Amino acid sequence: MAYRSIVLVKQVPDTANITAEAMKEDGTVNRAALPTIFNPEDLHALEAALEVKDRFGGTVTAITMGPPKAADVLRDCLFRGADRAILLTDRRAGGSDTLATSYILSQAVKTVGNYDFVFCGRQAIDGDTAQTGPQCAEKLNIPQVTYLEEIVNIQGNIAELKRNIGHGWEIVKVRLPCLATVVETANTPRPWSAKRMMRNKAKQAPAEIPAATSERLEQLKQQGKLLEQWGLDDISADIDRCGLSGSPTKVFRIQSIVLKKEGFTEIEPTETGVRRLIRELVGDRTLG
């Protein structure tokens, strides 16, 4: 049996090189002002999908939502072994929080259709919420396995997956289709293949070449040099659930917190201990 995997990959600001222009006045990320990289854990999500293809047969489709420049991560996916790559770009999606992002991505997954696995990274290094994957699973109404460490086996429509539970592992059996969020210890992402790079490096999304006429785009398509690109209308998205209008979260300020206190306090695991801890946290304004 061949398995069809969809991988959700995100281009993120390189948080090791943040500048003062990192955030716009409205509290959203100023992506244009930041160097970008492939979200680290999404490389492991891609590798998990490629592993399913290698071991059991199937296909891998990569989807990213972002500005035209996000097509970089799609080319990267093609260089490593993805069969299909889709750029979801639409100005009306700008400023989406995880609620809106997961809605848009789940609509894109539904539009691709006919899938067995959706793989995501556990979290993205810019938002760090780890909510997008689980929220997508809820919207797709499919089971989710978070913290995927290993694909133990797949038989028919049942996958045996090992997940990291902090101080140990748990092996779960899940019915397909399912969504899994992948951690960085799960695998070693494969490098680019020289052949695949030569075949795919010239591919561009229409949004990357805004001056191109429709004839030119058609010509590029015929030459196999056009990346697939969708907007919100292509995935039948309800516009009110996308972008700022679909996002209840507002980020007012980002602060760099430097913890100065050294050492630790041991709290006994009793009712009195917990009360003491809460009093302390409220007292130093960590809570409340």
Ligand X SMILES: Cc1cc2nc3c(=O)[nH]c(=O)nc-3n(C[C@H](O)[C@H](O)[C@H](O)COP(=O)(O)OP(=O)(O)OC[C@H]3O[C@@H](n4cnc5c(N)ncnc54)[C@H](O)[C@@H]3O)c2cc1C
CA distance 157 to 32: 43
Q: Quick one: which H or E segment has residue 196?
A: helix 194-200
Q: Which two tokens stand for residue 104?
A: 């848009």
CA pseudo-torsion sign 172, 178, 179, 183: positive
CA distance 94 to 108: 16
106 is a contact residue toward ligand X (CB under 6 A): no
29 is a contact residue toward ligand X (CB under 6 A): yes
CA distance 10 to 126: 10
State the nearest-atom distance from the C-beta of 74 to ligand X, in Å. 10
251 is a contact residue toward ligand X (CB under 6 A): yes
Binding range to ligand X, per CB under 6 A, among 48-56, 97-105, 169-177, 229-237: 97-105
Task: State which residue, 137 or 226, has the beta carbon closest to ligand X.
Answer: 137
CA distance 16 to 36: 10
| SS3 of 40-65 | HHHHHHHHHHHHHHHHHCEEEEEEEE
48 is a contact residue toward ligand X (CB under 6 A): no
State the nearest-atom distance from the C-beta of 189 to ligand X, in Å. 13
What does DSSP assign to residue 193?
A: P
Question: Using the rule CB under 6 A, which residue among 5, 36, 59, 132 binds ligand X?
Answer: 132
Residue closest to ligand X, measured at CB: 127
Instruction: Restricting to residues 137-196, name those near ligand X by CB under 6 A.
Output: none
Q: Which two tokens stand for residue 74?
A: 């799609």
Q: Which two tokens stand for residue 14?
A: 């390189």
CA distance 286 to 164: 29
CA pseudo-torsion sign 121, 129, 251, 240: positive
111 is a contact residue toward ligand X (CB under 6 A): no
Beta bridge partners of 214: none
Greatest CA separation found in the chain? 74
Binding range to ligand X, per CB under 6 A, among 58-66, 147-155, 165-173, 184-192: 58-66
41 is a contact residue toward ligand X (CB under 6 A): yes
Task: State which residue, 99 or 197, has the beta carbon closest to ligand X.
Answer: 99
CA distance 105 to 93: 11
Task: State which residue, 103 or 220, has the beta carbon closest to ligand X.
Answer: 103
Task: State which residue, 254 or 274, has the beta carbon closest to ligand X.
Answer: 254
Number of residues that bind ligand X (CB under 6 A): 32
Question: Using the rule CB under 6 A, which residue among 61, 96, 144, 204 binds ligand X?
Answer: 96
Binding range to ligand X, per CB under 6 A, among 2-10, 46-54, 164-172, 220-228: 2-10
208 is a contact residue toward ligand X (CB under 6 A): no
State the nearest-atom distance from the C-beta of 177 to ligand X, in Å. 16
61 is a contact residue toward ligand X (CB under 6 A): no
CA distance 29 to 25: 9
129 is a contact residue toward ligand X (CB under 6 A): yes
Binding residues (CB under 6 A) for ligand X: these are 8-10, 29, 39, 41-42, 45, 64-66, 96-99, 101, 105, 120-121, 123-124, 126-133, 249, 251, 254
